[in-house]
Every structure is written in C-alpha cells, then in structure tokens.
C-alpha cells in the first residue's frame, strides 16, 4: 500500500511522530500530504528551543493550539538578561536581531489561538508585561502559565493575572528578578486557588534604572 492510500486519521497520526522540520519535508512530496500538514488538528502542541525557530515556516498557528512552550537555554540568554543600559555595542547588536521576535510571535498567538491552555516561556529575556497582559486577555481558557528567567516581567504581569487570569490553575514565575514579594502576596490573596511558585524571584536583586541610582547618589554625597 502506498502511504497516500491511508485514510486521513492514519496520516494525521503518522505526522504526530515527526518533528516540525520532518513534517514540512514530508508535506512537500505531494499535494495530499501537504493538506495533512495544513490540518489545524495536527498543531495542538508546539515546542520551540530558540527564537530563531519562530521565524520558520514549518508549523501552523491556529485555534487548535492548546500547549505552547518557548524554552531557550543557550549561553546567549545571559546577554539578553543584562540591563539595557549596561550592554555594550556588541551585546546590543546581538539583541537587536531578535528583540521583538518572541513578543511578535505571542501577538500572533493572541490573534489566532484563543483556545490556548498552557504557555511556558524560559529564557525569553525580551518578553514584556504588555505582551503577557494581551495573552491573558485574549486566551481566556489559559490554565497554566510558566515564566522562567524572563527579566522584563514585573509586578504588572502579576496584577494582570489577578484581573484576567480567571481560568489559571498554575502560575510559575521562577528566577524573574523584577517580581516583588508584595505582588506575590497579592496574587495569593486575590487568586487563592492558583498554585503559585516563585523560585528565587522575590529574593533576587531587581533592576534599577540609572535615574534612580543618581537620585540615591545625590543625598549620599550631601551627607
């Protein structure tokens, strides 16, 4: 029997065993397999290992997406975690290549994937509070939100959780250094049913803008 003689359900099942690149390669062999590749039911789960993978055309975003993770564990993540005003030109040039990549992708998720149930972001140093706010507003069924080492995430995201995270059951904000203990306590108070975890976040040294540092230096000099 030829592969294309299998029924649609069997072909979908076979595609699930392949990674994104293999699915794309197989889809390019004939029109029928391309149609299977484009079936939204095939794309209920997406895992990415770097921002560069988000720019490829080897996947499909649609309302069937339920589980999404973008986990970047490369050494280059450390560059993105440096405060913007402390980066040298080489580090700035590196970040400029992908600074908006994850945020832009998540905006597409907001528009196309209203049924998202789980979102995991790790090492995404450029993801902003505004982006998380839109995710919570546009994905009302979101049950799990896990953020790890996302340095631009602040108490604003936790405030958005108390306002729009009505379906949330699990919230992780691990190693997010600009999260405060006060905001964590507010989430526990407003959302007692949410399983909240914040490993090291409130105990890390938060970023402080240069203007704030200068304001602290002037009184010390007077003294």
Query: pTM (2 decimals)?
Result: 0.88
Domains and CATH numbers, the chain: 1-42 (1.20.1280), 43-72+81-197 (3.80.10.10)
- pLDDT category of residue 92 using cuts at 50, 70 and 90: confident
The H or E element spanning position 77 is: helix 77-80
Could you tell me which of 211, 207, 167, 162 has the C-alpha nearest to residue 182? 162
Mean pLDDT over all residues of the chain?
91
Q: Across residues 15-30, what is the average pLDDT? A: 95
Between helices 101-112 and 129-138, what is the axis angle to 10°?
Answer: 10
The H or E element spanning position 113 is: none
C-beta of residue 118 within 8 angstroms of C-beta of residue 67: yes
Is it the case that residue 209 has pLDDT exceeding 80?
A: no
Residues 6+ apart with CB under 8 A from 82: 91
- Model confidence pLDDT, tens digit, residues 98-129: 889 999 999 999 999 999 999 999 999 999 99
Question: What was the pLDDT predicted at 157?
Answer: 97
Higher local confidence (pLDDT), 217 or 211: 211
Could you tell me which of 142, 102, 146 has the C-alpha nearest to residue 122? 146
Question: What was the pLDDT predicted at 74?
Answer: 83
Q: What percentage of the chain reaches a pLDDT higher than 70?
A: 93
- Model confidence pLDDT, tens digit, residues 167-201: 999 999 999 999 999 999 999 999 999 999 999 88
Burial class (CB in 10 A: 0-12, 13-18, 19+), 44: middle
Could you tell me which of 111, 184, 162, 170 has the C-alpha nearest to residue 142? 170
């Amino acid at each position: 029997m030829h592969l294309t003689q299998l029924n649609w359900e069997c072909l979908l099942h076979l595609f699930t065993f392949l990674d994104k690149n293999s699915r794309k390669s197989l889809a390019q062999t004939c029109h029928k397999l391309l149609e299977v590749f484009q079936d939204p039911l095939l794309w209920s789960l997406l895992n990415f290992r770097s921002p560069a993978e988000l720019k490829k055309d080897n996947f499909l975003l649609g309302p069937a997406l339920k589980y999404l993770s973008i986990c970047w564990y490369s050494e280059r993540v450390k560059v993105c975690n440096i405060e913007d005003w402390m980066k040298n030109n080489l580090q700035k040039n590196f970040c400029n290549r992908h600074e908006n990549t994850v945020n832009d992708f998540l905006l597409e998720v907001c528009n196309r994937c209203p049924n998202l149930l789980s979102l995991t972001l790790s090492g995404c140093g450029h993801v902003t509070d505004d982006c998380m706010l839109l995710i919570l507003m546009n994905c009302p069924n979101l049950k799990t939100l896990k953020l790890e080492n996302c340095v631009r995430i602040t108490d604003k995201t936790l405030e958005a959780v108390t306002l729009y995270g009505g379906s949330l059951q699990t919230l992780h904000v691990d190693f997010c250094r600009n999260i405060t203990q006060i905001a964590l306590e507010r989430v526990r108070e407003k959302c007692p049913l949410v399983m909240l975890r914040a490993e090291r976040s409130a105990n890390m040294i938060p970023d402080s803008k240069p203007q704030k540092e200068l304001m602290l230096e002037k009184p010390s000099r007077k003294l």
